[in-house]
Structure 1
Amino acid sequence: MTIFKIIFRKMLSNRWLTGSLFLGLLITVSLVSSIPTYTSSVMQKLLLGDLENYQLENNSYPTTFSYSVNFSKDEEIDRLTVLDTVEEVNSDLIGNTEVPTVTDLSILSTTPMKVTSELEAQSTQELSGRIVSFTSIEDHITITDGKLPSKTIVEGVYETLVTEKALLDRDMVIGTTFTIGEGDSKIQVKPVGTFIAKNTSEPYWVLPPDSYSKDFIVFEELFKNELIENNKNLLETGKFVTVFDYTEMKIESIPGLLGLDRKVNAEVSSLMETIILVDFPIQDVLKTFETRSDQLKTMLWSLNVPVLVMLGIYLYMVSRLIINRQLNEIAVFTSRGAKRAQILLIYFTEIAILGIVALAIGPYLGLLLCNILGGTNGFLEFVQRTALPTEILPESYLYALFAVLASILMIMIPVYFASNQSIVNHKQNLANSVNHYKWYSIIFDLTLIGVSIYGLYSFQKQRDNTSLTMADGEMYIDPILFFLPAIFIIGFGLFILRIYPLVLKLIYKIGERFWSISLYSTFLQVSRSAKQYQFLMLFLIMTIGIGVYSASAARTINNNLVEQIRYQNGADITLDVRWETNEATTSAYAPDTPSGEEEDTDTNSKEVVYTEPPFEPILELEDVENATRVFTMDNVNVEGKGKSIFSAELMAIEPKKFGQTAWFKPTLLPHHWYEYLNLIASEPSAALISKSVSTSLGVKEGDYITLQWDGSDSAEFVVYGIVDYWPSFNPLEIKEDNANPTLIVTNLSYVQNLMGLEPYQAWLKVKPNSTRNSLYESIKKEQIPVMNMVDVQPQIIELKNSAFLLGLNGTLTLGFIISIFVTFIGFLLYWILTIKSRTLQYGVYRAMGIPMPKLIGILIWEQVMTSGIACFLGVIIGGVTSKLFVPLFQLTFNPQTMVPPFVVVFDSSDEMKIYLFVTFMFVVGLSILVVLLRKIKIHQAIKLGED
């Protein structure tokens, strides 16, 4: 009890330091516990989205698990007994997955048997059929004729249901009695009703009802209790269907679902020799989700490593401040006979109490952090987005416990070194303390820099040979691409901090005779107390440097991915509109017809004539800023200088309107792309060609080429320019015949006049503040006959909602916010304690007659030479790190789709956010420090001196 009194007295007397220490513990625990929570939440959202898309695309419920068992393969078993056992096994296996089900269905059937009717003399057909039962079929059908059958035998006859199609197939009427089977195992059945499914799209109907048009359907109770009980050998197959509710599925349930296949085979095979056919359509999807979840978790850990390192340094710094303030107390304990273990126990108990509280609160704060992560749309950009389905997982508490233990270990390090000093040792250390660095400490800094540079060199060698894009198209970043830059920033920062005092001394010596009292005092204080400022300056360098790198990395990846989508589409929206034609079948977009296919002679002999729909309704759409006609044709024959290309792509445009509508990055070409548009606008027969056309034909500017395609007239064009890139044209694409992509850009009016009028696309540029819903409603209202539409906005939204970008943007944003928050707290804590520890010094300055403005000047210059220089170094080091390491992210992209080329992006708005943080920190910090400085009284300093 005495120890706890001492501990709580210590905590109260150092409540600000204790609170700061607890804050660091709480943030660390929250951040670490949020990683599994966030990973599970993001993957849960993506899993739900993928399963919904699967249902829409395949028109079937995605989580339908079924397997069929053939009971006739093992003649030694009691089929009914084994059936009961299989049903129990199935119930246990499904229950163990802990996933709610929408439907549980058993479909039992007899062997196919000969079917004869009481009117057999009137029929010449020999038919076969089965008796089948469905679980609770009456809840899923609508009787269209007749009635529901009885659940018991009626006068020796089994009443059954049949589909409406069965009446036609068997040429029968309801109420006809049929005999199924031959010899001693004859069974009489009577169809008493026909039915249709209430809803064929519900998961109950694994196969549509018409699939059972040759079968007679009875209730499950009658099938098992009467039919099979008396004729056990008739049971042939059992199909067990379970439809899981994917809206309630959790990522943690995936291993259990993937294990169903193996467990079913093992359990059923142990009961009998049989053939088991398992069907689980999304098994491969779930397997990839496990892999993606592991990769996302690895990426999140790698992104959080710099922040965790910073939190570790923060905890170490705060614990050192606590210990430094209590060195006298520890020394007194030691001198009075306290053992090292007792001192360590006191501090361990104090930290353990804080850790337990942080462990209890941290995971819940981690949930809040996950919501912040889910709302990011870029680095330090937030949008209104559907909240992630977050919940605290057992794994979150496990991670939180590891974080607490690691934090306690970090905090106990300075306690351990201080716990063995007596009062004599303490006074000797104070008298003999040397604040200079040991010369060999620079080896550690150079080692960190060397490791990061070696990693950079390795990735640069890899860049031209491989790609880190996942096989299924999901983006993935090697965690080392964030780990190495963090090492480089720390190593480079430490290296500069080693030599910074020497630089200050040199500057001091140069202007020793000219410095003012404020600068003179500051130079001496900072250069002689380098270690005192090390943690604070390293803190700021890490925060600013990693912030600059994170902003550049996030902005670069986001911009390059978005630009790929915009470039590929060419404009905000592309429309294919219905054209009327004299052909028998209306074609939505004629150029989609593959060339080279043989057509009927009648078709070839008849000229196809198209009627152009009015374009004005598209131009007059309220939400459309600009629109243009774009005619594209594949497999165009190009001739020039005696050479030919047979599969070129033609794009005919309206130059001015095309420039106002299409999206293109001006830096992709040697000159602004408007200049190329002006070239072809000045001459109707002008053409721009891709470099691949120029190389293949040997043509250059001023040469003539001839174009023609199947069904068109030929026309001659003059080459006015050669381009490497053009909206929607991918020069890196690898075609099936390994031919290089080729493009010719011409004037639309010239092509239509000489080569014929054929369907073109409409490219739209949407007004910045308009919504897509408004545009879609306008198109519908104007009755524009749209056959196909490609919109970049849904693609960009889908990209922003991907696990990759959610994890990247969210983690980098959250990491930076935490970093600046912790740094701000550490900044204030450090300087407040520094002011208080130097009360005597400042009091003496005042007693010597130094006015308060001069004293404030000393404080400001000290801030500039420590915190200010650290922030400046952070910006410089972060910029250097970005220049070196951000280009490696092009390894993440598929080289065949990386158009436009990968470009490192520095956005001024991102840097401005960092500068605003630094300014805010300085203004608030200096304001608080000045207030504290003004409170220092001369008589207090003299009293302290007497003590």
Structure 2
Amino acid sequence: MALWTMILRKMASNKWLQLNLWFGLTICVALFSSMPLYSDAILQRTLTKELQEIQHQSGVYPGFMRISTSVSSSVMDEKTTSAISRADQFAASIPERTGIEAMSSYQQRKTHKMKVYGADASDQEKKIQKTTGIFKSLSDMEKRVKLTEGRMPQDRQDGIFEALVTQKFLLSVKRGLGDELLMVSPEADRSTFRVIPVGLIETDPAADPYLPYLTTDEENGFLIPFEQFEREFIEGGKARLTELEWRFALNYEQLTVEKTGQFTKAATDVKRYFRGKLGVEEVNIPATETVASYEGKQKKLDLMMLSLYVPVMMMLAFYIYMSANLIIDRQKTEIAVLRSRGASRFQIMCIYVLESTLLGISALAVGPILGVWFTKILGASNGFLEFVQRSALEISLSSDAYRIAVIAVSGAIMLILIPAFLASKVSIVSHKQQSARLAHTPFWYKAGIDFLLVGISLYLLYNFNKRQADLKRLALDSELLQMDPLVFLIPALFILGGGLLVLRIYPWLIRIIYVSGKKWWSPPLYSSLVQISRSSGQYLTINVFLIMTVATGIFSANAARTINDNLDSKIQYSVGTDIVITSKWESNALPPVNMASAAQTGSANSEFTEQRRVQYTEPPFTPFEELEGAESVAKVFRKEEARFSAKESGTSGKVELVGINTLEFGNTAWMKNGLMDYPLNSYLNLIAPNPKAVLISRSLADKAKLEPGDTISVAWDGLNQIPLTVYGIIDYWPSWNPLAVSRDAEGKGTDPFLIVGHLSTIQNRLAIEPYEVWLKLKDGVSSQEIYTQLEQSKVPVTSLRDATQELVRSVNDPFRMAINGVMTLGFVISMLICFFGFLLFWTLTLAGRSLQYGVLRAMGMPFRHIIGMLVSEQMLTSVAAVLIGVMIGNVTSERFVPLFEMSFATTDQVPPFQITYQLSDYLQVYGIIGSMLIIGLTVISFRLSRTRIAEALRLGEE
């Protein structure tokens, strides 16, 4: 008890330092615990949304699963019956295998087709009757069908089958309910079955909203009781079975990211089990591809977030170590006294272990809850220091969050104990000797840590740039937004090393300033220059803090802005405008022919291989022009398999031909500035007067050795080539990718070619074929309004690309949200740490120099001069550190932000990766830093104004 009393008294005597240390530990716990919380919450929300998108696109419940297999055996022997029984048992275990509850399920059985006619049919009617039907059964039949007339069938034992039928089927056999029908098997045994339809049915969607039974799937059949079907056809073998089917509606909301591997394995096991077990199988699980894409995604997201947190983790470690070191510095005399009175180093370390553990436990109590708040910030981020109103993430504290939090606290406690361990080996004599000596040179200064950090970061930068050059040269792909942790670690090392390197030089600059004007400096400035030049090491901690905070903030802002801008530009460029639509065109094209079956039947002759021109009928364009909310509409014809020939060089080959109307296209297309030598409209104005004028890609110009004024001929599919005149050479064009798909080891590959001409010329002199319709929307108009109008106009849309929707999906991508959120959160945390560190440092500095200020006041120095000294000191230290941070942040952005290009797919990174700077980001950083300095300076000035001269002098006498 005495030990705990001593520990609590020690902590109370340094309550502000202990509070700062606890703050650092709590932030550390919150930061680490937010990683699994965010990855769990955001991936779960994204997975659920993508599963719901399956239902939106295909109209199928996201948890739908259908297993169908034929029965190859013609005889229902014991082996086949046993195989069906085992298949039923396996199917029943599917929900357990996936780990998801089945909301609904049913199974069907079907026999082979038989001829159907009335029992009283004449011989003539039997001959002309062509109706066929099957026996089928449905589990829980009474609950799944809607009885419109008659009654439910009964399981009879007299050889007669009572059945449910559809109205269409009953009309085809020309009989009514209650009339006896005969089913005659086409098999060799010519088995005959007596059937009495007793009820008419139709689909009842309300009976099962998850898995409705559709009577229209197999209308020509008799639906009999399931138990009777099992007894008569499976166990009795009275008819050959052709199909078995099981359907499930699994509760997709129970499908968590952790269960994706289990679900994918279960889907694979289902396909493997039914493959050839009874016959030809068909397994339809629409969610499989979506779910499989999430396997391992959580680990990748956690790794990326860990790499994103590297800079702020370095600041946290620095802050925690600084706070612990300040506490130990104030207690070194006490530690030395304990050592001189016989206390062992182990006993002293036990005291600090208990003290640190107490702080760690209290941080664990609050940190994970704060981590939930951090996670919500991550989910609401839309850019650097930008937030939007999204639906809140469903966050629940998990064991993983607490496990990581405990690991983080344990590591932080080890960091806290380092100063205590170093201090515990000093005796009272050694402590007094060290106190009497002047401040020694820091270890990093003597060891050249700054040079080492800068050298390592530049070496790794060189390797990354080399790797990036190889990716471009070979046109290799790298998976979208899969960040290498070193991409964030290297800039952090460079910022720290660069800051230390400048701080190595900075004291010499202060001395030069002092010496150059010491005869003219005012007393406050003179005193500040003397203080800083003689005690430059005293300001090292706060300077490093400010430099890392500002530099990291600027780098984070530029990196986030660059990533967001390049992702958005990539989507907008690939689409070319707001919405691209392709509608259905009528044509005389023949229906597709299965060439393999045609060859087997001997019909694979010139009729199938003859090339013929397809004539298209252009649909009305008026519905597009009349769309309310569309600012402009343009026709864009694209022919990827066109051919060109250049007589001057004798070159020919494939080319993508684009036909446009220059005025409409210029008003509709989106093009990023700076991609071409001149604005897009300048090129359009260039070719507008001449209907034969075209623009060609630079790759084509280099290949065919063409220049403006040369002639190039173009056509496709056996058409006669038409001569066109080259008016301009372009590097990019909306929606056209100028990059090669792949290259060999020597960097050689086939570059795509492009020709842009007038649509009217192409249609008049070549052919009229389907074109795309490009729409540019007015401000404030949603895509849904356009979709509704197209639906009301009954425009048959065959394909559609919506840039707005693609941008929304990109913004909501978990990896992109993590980048924006972590960079924003990291900067905010850095600001908080720096603010508290700033106040802590200057408050302790002020307390340590109370005697100096008291003497100056006693000598008659006005208080305004004291404030002037403080302001001068701040300008020469804190403000200078901010300016150094800005400089290092800009250099780091210029050198290291391009590394993020490796995180994008190289073959479709169009427009090219470009660093983006935005003034508002700098103003935000400057505003936050400036507010922090002003608030800190105000607090320090207030504390200084409360200092009493007599107390300061008496303290000096003591």
Deviations 1:498-540 (CA, angstroms, capped at 9, x unpaired): 3433443344344444443333332333333344322222222
Contact 1:67 1:241 in 2 (8 A): yes
Q: Which residue of 1 aligns with 2:944?
A: 933
Correspondence for 1:494 = 500
CA distance in 1, matches of 2:465, 2:953: 63
Aligned partners of 1:474 and 1:804 also within 8 Å: no
Does structure 2 conserve the Cα–Cα contact (< 8 Å) formed by 1:105 and 1:135? Answer: yes
2:670 matched residue in structure 1: 663
Q: Is 1:922–2:933 an aligned residue pair?
A: yes
The reply to whether residue 319 of structure 1 matches residue 324 of structure 2 is yes
Q: Pick one of 138, 142, 149 that aligns with 1:138.
A: 142
Return the offset for 1:240: 5.2
| CA pair 278-397 structure 1, distance change in 2 beyond 3 A | farther
| Residue pairs, 1:710-725, within 5 angstroms | 717-725=724-732
Mapped partners of 2:262, 2:489: distance in 1: 34
Q: Is the deviation greater in 639-648 or in 549-558?
A: 639-648
Equivalent residues of 1:442, 1:495 under 8 A apart: no
TM, length-normalised to structure 1: 0.85
Find the aligned partners of 1:684 and 1:80 in 2 and give their Cα distance: 75
Matched-pair contact (CA < 8 Å) for 2:204–2:213: no
CA distance in structure 1 between the partners assigned to 2:83 and 2:782 by the alignment: 63
Given that residues 662 and 727 in structure 1 are in contact (C-alpha distance below 8 angstroms), is that contact kept between their aligned partners in structure 2? yes
Q: For residue 696 of structure 2, what is the aligned residue in structure 1? A: 689
Match of 1:907 in 2: 918
Q: CA deviation at 1:909?
A: 1.6
Matched, 1:466 2:471: yes
The one-character-per-residue Cα deviations of 1:231-253 (angstroms, maximum 9, x if unpaired) are 59999997654432113321122
Contact preservation (8 Å) 2:668, 2:776: yes
C-alpha RMSD of matched pairs (Å): 4.6
Identify the range of structure 1 (407-416 vs 703-712) with the bigger mean alpha-carbon deviation: 703-712
How many equivalent residue pairs?
924
The amino acid that maps onto 1:843 is G
Work out which of the residue numbers 531, 548, 557 in structure 1 matches 2:554: 548
Unmatched runs of 5 consecutive residues or more in structure 1: 587-596
5+ unaligned residues in a row in structure 2: which ranges? Answer: 591-605, 744-748
Which is further off, 253-262 or 171-180? 171-180
Residues 191/602 of structure 1: CA separation in 2 closer, same or farther (3 Å cut): same
Find the partner of 2:846 among 805, 828, 835: 835
Assess, with a 3 A threshold, how the Cα gap between structure 1 residues 275 and 722 changes in structure 2: closer, same or farther: closer
Question: How far 1:377 sits from its partner (Å)?
Answer: 1.4
The code of the aligned residue for 1:482 comes to: F
1:508 to 511, 514, 521: 514
Mapped contact 1:627–1:764 kept (Cα < 8 A): yes
Question: Where do residues 527-676 of structure 1 align in structure 2 (5 Å cutoff)?
Answer: 527-575=533-581, 613-614=621-622, 617-618=625-626, 623-628=629-634, 630-632=636-638, 635-636=641-642, 638=644, 640-642=646-648, 643=650, 645=652, 647-655=654-662, 658-676=665-683
CA contact (8 A) 2:136 2:221 kept: no
Shift of 1:664: 1.6
Q: For residues 638 and 72 of structure 2, what CA distance do their matches in structure 1 show?
A: 60
SS in structure 2 at match of 1:465: helix
For the Cα contact (< 8 Å) 2:378–2:825, is it kept in 1? Answer: yes
Query: How many Å separate the matches in 2 of 1:783 and 1:165?
Result: 30
Residues 540, 874 of structure 1: 8 Å contact kept: yes
CA distance in 2, matches of 1:669, 1:202: 55
Distance in 2 of aligned mates of 1:945 and 1:602? 105
- In structure 1, how many angstroms separate the alpha carbons of the residues matched to 2:754 and 2:873? 63
The structure 1 residue matched to 2:422, chosen from 394, 404, 417, is 417
Kindly tell me: are residues 337 and 557 of structure 1, through their superposed partners in 2, closer, same or farther at Cα, counting changes over 3 Å?
A: same
From 312, 317, 327, give the equivalent of 1:307: 312
Work out whether 1:195 is the aligned partner of 2:196.
Answer: no
Which amino acid in structure 1 is aligned with residue 257 of structure 2?
A: I
What is the letter of the counterpart of residue 346 of structure 2?
A
Q: Provide the residue aligned with 1:245 in structure 2.
A: 251
Could you tell me whether the CA contact under 8 Å between 2:739 and 2:907 is conserved in 1? yes
Q: Report the alpha carbon displacement of residue 681 of structure 1 after superposing the two structures with TM.
A: 4.0
Match of 1:349 in 2: 354
The residue number in structure 2 matching 1:27 is: 27
1:874 paired to 2:885 = yes
Q: Would you say the 8 A contact 1:518–1:858 is kept in 2?
A: yes
Asked if the contact 2:134/2:220 (under 8 Å) is kept, the reply is no
Match runs of 1:690-705 below 5 Å: 690-705=697-712
SS at match of 2:263: helix
Shift of 1:28: 1.1
CA distance in 1, matches of 2:877, 2:327: 22
Amino acid at match of 2:142: E
CA contact (8 A) 1:564 1:900 kept: yes
Rounded to whole Å, the distance in 2 between the matches of 1:58 and 1:506 is: 75
Match of residue 449 from structure 1: 454
Task: Specify the alignment match of 1:103 in structure 2.
Answer: 104
CA distance in 1, matches of 2:790, 2:79: 67
The one-letter code sitting in structure 1 at the alignment partner of 2:701 is S
1:845 aligns with 2:852: no
> Distance between the aligned counterparts of 2:947 and 2:909, measured in 1?
63
Cα pair 1:33 1:397 within 8 Å, conserved:
yes
Q: Is the 8 A contact 1:617 1:782 kept in 2?
A: no
Contact 2:445–2:504, Cα closer than 8 Å, also in 1: no
Contact 1:470 1:476 in 2 (8 A): no
C-alpha displacement at 1:281, in angstroms? Answer: 4.8
TM-score by length of 2: 0.84
The 1:857–1:232 alpha-carbon spacing in structure 2 relative to 1, beyond 3 Å, is farther
Question: Using a 3 Å threshold, how does the CA distance of structure 1 residues 113 and 402 change in structure 2: closer, same or farther?
Answer: farther
1:742-762 deviation per Cα after TM superposition (whole angstroms, max 9, x unaligned): 333345667677778877655
Q: C-alpha distance in 1, partners of 2:584/2:430?
A: 92
CA gap 1:373/1:206 in 2 versus in 1, 3 angstroms:
farther
In 2 relative to 1, CA 129–743 (structure 1 residues): closer, same or farther, beyond 3 Å?
closer
Whole-angstrom distance in 1 between the partners of 2:609 and 2:86: 62
Q: Do residues 802 (structure 1) and 813 (structure 2) align?
A: yes
Which residue of the partner structure matches residue 5 of structure 2? 5
- The amino acid of 1:37's aligned partner reads L
Which has the higher mean CA deviation after the structures are superposed, 278-287 or 402-411? Answer: 278-287
SS in 1 for 2:294: helix
Q: 1:120 to 1:731 in 2, by over 3 A?
A: same
2:14 corresponding residue in structure 1: 14
2:434 aligned partner: 429
Q: 1:404 aligns with which of 406, 409, 413?
A: 409
Whether the 8 Å CA contact 1:80–1:232 is kept in 2: the answer is no
Structure 1 residue 288, shift from structure 2 partner: 2.6
Alpha-carbon distance change, 408 to 189 in structure 1, aligned in 2, over 3 angstroms: farther
Q: Deviations over 1:607-644 (max 9, x none)?
A: 977587459954xx664445555555555555544546
Could you say what secondary structure the match of 2:201 adopts? strand
Matched residue type, 2:923: M
Offset of residue 42 of structure 1: 1.8
- Partner of 2:738 in structure 1? 731
**CA deviation map 1:307-342 (0-9, x unaligned):** 122111111111122222333333344444444333
Q: What one-letter code is carried by the residue in structure 2 that aligns with 1:526?
A: I
Deviation at 1:260, TM superposition (A): 3.0
For residues 328 and 615 of structure 2, what CA distance do their matches in structure 1 show? Answer: 94
2-side partners of 1:641 and 1:267: how far apart?
62
C-alpha contact 2:476 2:907 (8 A) present in aligned 1: no
Superposition deviation, residue 674 in structure 1: 3.9
Inter-CA distance 195–735: structure 2 relative to 1 (3 Å threshold): farther
Contact preservation (8 Å) 2:646, 2:712: yes
Residues 267, 288 of structure 2: 8 Å contact kept? no
Task: Give the C-alpha shift of residue 449 in structure 1.
Answer: 2.3
1:256 aligns to 2:262 (yes or no): yes
Q: Bigger shift: 498-507 or 826-835?
A: 498-507
Residue 832 of structure 2 is matched in structure 1 by 821
Find the residue that maps to 1:744 and give its secondary structure.
strand
